[in-house]
Amino acid sequence: MTFSIDQYRLEGKVAVVTGAGGRGNSIGRAYALGLANAGASVVVADLNADGANAVADEIQAAGGKAIASVVDITKPDSVASMAKAAVQAFGGVDILVNNAALMAELGYLQAIDIPLEQWNRIMDVNVTGALNCTQAIVPLMRARGGGKIVNQVSGGAFPAISVYGISKLALVGLTTTLARQLGRQNINVNAIAPGNTMSDAGKLLTPEDSPFVKLLEATVAMRVRGQPDELVGTLLLLCSSAGDWITGQVLHVDGGWVLRP
């Protein structure tokens, strides 16, 4: 079959994006708007009801299809309600973007002295939360003959500098393992690892004078800092039929920070 640029279009597809109602200029918001722009109906899911409603309203005002869903991804009952809302509004789910996470509030916590309660909370949101959503949504994907799952990891997983990074490495493990298990069911599972992205949360975590930015400046091949919108093209590749033969991969979108063979 000859490649067509229309393969990036998502008309008739339903996408659930967690963490899409975040602080102001969030990555989840950019993902939700990008998917809606490509033609998908979007479930804007977040713990933050005001944020989720604002992003769903923004999509509708631009002529797209969206609903807001208030969810706590650590709670299976809450995630089940999110999945139910998607089916009621749009008839099913084809795309799941596991983007919700704790990040800015964690700073650079180290494993050696972190209280166990805090460790469990981080893993609960950043790892188990993605698993809960996947377990709830995969049966809906199977019912539609397949689907696409994108897990939001981080370049910060690779330099081994924080508990946040450990949680994102666990999410890489979930990505590759689920890719192997779900491939024959026509479900692709990939991850995006952004570099230092200037969402409102990213600005909070790494202000201009942060030592972390100095560290990046010494190593990153191109521009150190990116904008949420610069991640959307990769998301559309992984969520559309243009990316049908890609699975189990971590795509680094970071100006050449994490360089792997």
Ligand X SMILES: NC(=O)c1ccc[n+]([C@@H]2O[C@H](COP(=O)([O-])OP(=O)(O)OC[C@H]3O[C@@H](n4cnc5c(N)ncnc54)[C@H](O)[C@@H]3O)[C@@H](O)[C@H]2O)c1
Residues marked active site are found at 164
**Cα–Cα distance, 108 to 111 (Å, whole number):** 10
Write each residue from 9 to 48 as x if it is in contact with ligand X (CB under 6 A), else as -, in one continuous string.
---------xx-xxx--xxx-----------------xxx
The site that binds ligand X (CB under 6 A) totals a number of residues, namely 33
Q: Are 71 and 130 in contact (CB under 8 A)?
A: no
**Least distance CB 185 / ligand X (angstroms):** 25
**Cα–Cα distance, 136 to 85 (Å, whole number):** 12
- Token readout for 110 is 């180290």
Residues 51-90 that bind ligand X (CB under 6 A): 51, 71-74
Q: Among all residues, whose Cβ is closest to ligand X?
A: 22
Nearer to ligand X, 125 or 149 (CB): 125
Query: What ranges in 38-75 are assigned the alpha helix state H?
Result: 49-61
| Amino acid identity, position 129 | G
Stretch that binds ligand X, among 8-16, 34-42, 102-110, 211-219 (CB under 6 A): 102-110
Beta bridge partners of 193: 252
Dihedral angle of Cα 172, 27, 9, 15, to the nearest 10 degrees? 70
SS (HEC) of 181-217: HHHHHCEEEEEEEECEECCHHHHHHCCCCCHHHHHHH
Stretch that binds ligand X, among 87-95, 189-197, 215-223, 236-244 (CB under 6 A): 189-197
Among 41, 69, 99, 188, binds ligand X (CB under 6 A): 99
Which of the 8 DSSP states describes residue 124? I
**Least distance CB 62 / ligand X (angstroms):** 20
3-state secondary structure of 151: strand
Residues 110-169 that bind ligand X (CB under 6 A): 125, 129, 152, 154, 156
Nearer to ligand X, 18 or 175 (CB): 18
Nearer to ligand X, 95 or 201 (CB): 201
Kindly list the residues in this chain that would bind ligand X in the complex (CB under 6 A): 18-19, 21-23, 26-28, 46-48, 51, 71-74, 99-104, 125, 129, 152, 154, 156, 194, 196-197, 199, 201-202
